[in-house]
Amino acid sequence: MKVTANETEFELEPGSSLSAFLDSIGHQVGLVVVERNREALSPSEAESTILEDGDRLEIVRIVAGG
């Protein structure tokens, strides 16, 4: 199945969780904000969110600073 994250297409195994996908691309749940199909997800939803073919993700890294 294919998902698009930040305008890049990825081929994933069916049934992949959001948290597993984030791990595979070097991101850690809680250190990024994820929007799936224009709906913001909380970090607690990452493990239970199963990605589907055609999903569009926007991933933004949280940066602290002043």
Please, how many CA atoms are within 13 Å of residue 65, restricted to the half-sphere of its CB? 3
Which residue segment(s) compose the domain that 15 sits in? 2-61
pLDDT at 13: 96
Supply angle C-alpha 40, 26, 48, rounded to 5: 45
CATH number at residue 21: 3.10.20.30
Structural domain contains residue 32: yes
What is the four-CA torsion angle of 1, 14, 28, 57, rounded to 10 degrees? 40
pLDDT at 64: 77
pLDDT at 28: 92
Q: How many whole angstroms separate alpha carbon 15 and alpha carbon 6?
A: 20
Number of domains in the chain: 1
pLDDT at 47: 85
pLDDT at 63: 81
Would you state the structure tokens that stand for residue 29, as one six-digit string? 């749940």
Tens place of pLDDT for every residue, the chain, 66 residues?
999 999 999 999 999 999 999 999 999 998 999 999 999 999 999 889 999 999 999 999 988 776
Structural domain contains residue 34: yes
